[in-house]
Amino acid sequence: MASPPRQPAPEADSRLPPAGPRPALRTRAGTLALDRTVVVGVLNATPDSFSDGGLHQDPGRAAAAAAQMVAEGAGMLDLGAESTRPGAVPVPADEELRRLLPVLRAVRAAVRVPLSVDTMKSSVAEAAIAEGADLVNDVSAGRQDPALFASCAAAGVPIVLMHMQGTPATMQAEPRYGDVVGEVTSFLAERAAAARAAGIAPEGIVLDPGIGFGKTVGQNCRLIRRLDALVALGYPVLVGVSRKSFLGRLLGGRDVGARLFGTAAAVALAVAGGAKLVRVHDVAAIHDVVVVSEAVLGA
Ligand code: HH2
């Protein structure tokens, strides 16, 4: 397999987003073009996710929400059945599957966009792929279950590799870094190399700095500000800031339901930094943010 091309030399106009070296992601649902930023809608089939917990456990409601997100501009949907919010405890695979599969089947029947499954377990990923999932989104970047890379490689599905310091149960206790941008970037470079060594194609790898996963408010902001360092690795970058608690803290303790403008600001800056996918709950609003951000960046 060819190596991902290096980031081209910096443009004269540094306000422009770095040119994406891989403008598309190949999935079984077709090619997902990344020349425009893709809005990824979040659908959690969980009772306890920090934002949409309990809303999408019913397959019919999940399918209706999925169809609405696609109508509002989502180019991909991310389905999860295990919360990874700070303090969350792990869910056994059988329970994760019991929650996920009925929702996945209903959503798969309702929409044609690529579906990713947010899981750290190879058994869950394999069952989800058999039911029509097109990508795997692993917040542990293949560390929780070393068999996950092989599952993705065998099925030929892309994977999102996310940085997390610690585990969801403990990660916000005391995040520590010498150089957060350097450490997150070199960690993801190493995980991408491990994924490729396990047989995942380079054009099937997406990197994610893991906003809110073992980071302080300042470290989250720094990672968004210096997204260029991650983009320079040559893989598409996904950013998930939606309604997260660093926004609540920046806004004086704002409630989870009142973080839309904060989310919008962070998404606009992530797009300016070169994010090719943004994972959000409020698809209609963030679709507008992305359209306007790209128009300004391209002017
Ligand atoms: N954030 C969450 C979950 N999965 N995956 C990626 N790749 N990047 C993220 O930033 C990310 C993620 C947390 O958000 P949410 O799914 O809304 O909450 P919960 O983990 O409580 O289900």
Q: What is the pLDDT of residues 218-267, one digit of tens each?
A: 999 999 999 999 999 999 999 999 999 999 999 999 999 999 999 999 99
pLDDT at 49: 85
The closest-lying atom of ligand 1 relative to the alpha carbon of residue 44 is: 22
Catalytic residue numbers read 244, 279
What is the reported pTM? 0.92
72-96: per-residue pLDDT in tens?
A: 999 999 999 999 988 888 999 999 9
> Is the beta carbon of 85 within 6 A of some atom in ligand 1?
yes
- The confidence score (pLDDT) of residue 19 equals 47
Confidence (pLDDT) at 13: 41
- Residue 249 has a pLDDT of 97
Query: Could you tell me the distance, in angstroms and rounded to a whole number, from the CA of residue 166 to the centre of ligand 1?
Result: 15
**pLDDT value of position 29:** 76
Task: Determine whether the shortest distance from the Cβ of 57 to ligand 1 is under 6 A.
Answer: no
> Residue 160 CA: which ligand 1 atom is closest?
7
pLDDT, residue 255, reads 96
List, for the chain, all residue ranges whose pLDDT scores fall below the cut of 50: 1-3, 5-21
- Residue with the smallest CA separation from ligand 1 atom 5 is 139
Question: Ligand 1 mean position to 240 CA, how many Å?
Answer: 7
Is the minimum distance from the CB of 279 to ligand 1 under 6 angstroms?
Answer: yes
CA–CA dist 77, 194 (Å, integer): 26
pLDDT value, residue 4: 52
pLDDT of res. 14:
38
pLDDT of 16 reads: 41
Name the closest-CA residue to atom 15, ligand 1.
49
For residue 166, what pLDDT is reported?
87
Any ligand 1 atom below 6 A from CB of 49: yes
